[in-house]
Amino acid sequence: MRSLLMFFTLIHVFSAAALQVGAERYDQYLSLLKNQRVALVVNQTAQTQDGHLLDSLLAKGVDVRKVFAPEHGFRGNHDAGAKVDSSKDSKTGLPIVSLYGKNKKPTADVLEDIDIIVFDIQDVGVRFYTYISTMHYVMEAAAENEKQFIVLDRPNPNIAYVDGPILEPKFHSFVGMHPIPVLHGMTVGELARMINAEGWLNTSKELALTVIPVADYNANISYDLPIKPSPNLPNAQAIALYPSLCFFEATPVSVGRGTMRPFQVYGHDEVKLGEFSFTPQPTPGAASNPKLKGKVAYGKNLADAETQGLDLTWFISAYRAFDNKGEAFFTHAQFMDKLAGTDKLRLAIKSGQTFEEIKKSWQADLAKFKRRRQPYLLYKR
């Protein structure tokens, strides 16, 4: 049995590695960059078989003028929410312009010497993962300043799932900018097409958008990311659990930031949520000041747990444990509602509804969303 498992694992790894991501399909887009002044929106995940996309394009004679860096920075070594300063790339000397913090959108001055903007960042298919918010603002700036915008597409490790509540307009924020579910089941290229065509950009000008698809990709291909997309999503299990556990960020419960298992464990120091224990500690580049720092938290280890899509059973169980002790759980209710894209989820949990009842309430809206997104899909479902 073990040898059989190893065989299928090898097949899985090979099929993922064999995919040719958009950035590697030079024959599809290098001609578009010829004699153009180029800016890249990239981080550490913008890798090709030749190395980082920036280095690859420079080696091929592309006139890259600057780099725009999202949350976590160009090299992906900043904490979530940490201030990311503009700087210079130590290897190439090119200016790096931060798009996180106050300046989420490139200004006209910054884009004055640019003709084309290329976006190549690995996403995880979750609405509140802020790289898609960065993409939105850059798309908007590109349209306003009449610049071409190219998305070099990459697989979505959560593409199999369309789940969770649809964002309501009044809960619009940087952790949720579009009327899509928590798990939208789209690649960034497909999502860019939808954002553009649905009129979600806050501009009357049209965007010249080109998407370079992943070769021979479809939604049935399981894909383990070769590089962690951000400091606290170190492996496939964390990425799979991220949409379910991220809601704990609006509560006193730790999701393991500052441990070896971020987004694979959860717990609290005073309200015991399980027998597993962990102690968050400062971790450079991932959690400089983690929740429950230095305290022993008791909860669950989900490193081997099976989950499909959005699973809020752990979250609801934790809420009830806090409620039974008279302890506040939704300590950041406004942030919870922004993550959920609605206040209905929080209120449903407080009213005692089960996860099955809550999940049922999403289905009609999810069916409408699937029909709405259909024209923008690039890969077989």
- pLDDT tens digits, 68-122: 998 656 754 444 444 445 578 878 889 999 998 788 999 999 999 999 999 999 9
331 and 276, same structural domain? yes
Structural domain that includes position 336: 236-350
Give yes or no for a contact between 151 and 211, defined as CB atoms under 8 angstroms apart.
Answer: yes
The closest of 323, 332, 317, 336 to 273, measured between CA atoms, is: 317
Cα–Cα distance measured from residue 158 to residue 124, given in angstroms and rounded to the nearest whole number = 6
| Cβ neighbours of residue 324 closer than 8 Å, sequence gap 6 or more | none
What local confidence, expressed as pLDDT, does residue 72 receive?
A: 57
- Asked, for residue 122, whether it belongs to a domain, the answer is yes
206 and 241, same structural domain? no
For 47, the 3-state DSSP assignment is: strand
- Which stretches within 63-124 are classed as H helix? 108-111
Give yes or no for a contact between 357 and 348, defined as CB atoms under 8 angstroms apart.
Answer: yes
- Asked, for residue 230, whether it belongs to a domain, the answer is no
134 and 251, same structural domain? no
Cα–Cα distance measured from residue 235 to residue 365, given in angstroms and rounded to the nearest whole number = 31
What local confidence, expressed as pLDDT, does residue 13 receive?
A: 41
Report, in this order, helix, strand and coil percent for the chain, each rounded to 5: 35, 15, 50
Q: What is the number of domains present in the chain?
A: 2
Question: Binning pLDDT at 50, 70 and 90, where does residue 144 land?
Answer: very high
Return the amino acid letter for 90. S
Percent of the chain with pLDDT over 70: 92
Cα–Cα distance measured from residue 191 to residue 366, given in angstroms and rounded to the nearest whole number = 16
Give yes or no for a contact between 165 and 366, defined as CB atoms under 8 angstroms apart.
Answer: no
- pLDDT tens, 273-284? 999 999 999 988
Assigned token pair, 96: 């790096």
For 293, the 3-state DSSP assignment is: coil
- pLDDT tens, 159-210? 999 999 999 999 999 999 999 999 999 999 999 999 999 999 999 999 999 9
143 and 196, same structural domain? yes
254 and 174, same structural domain? no
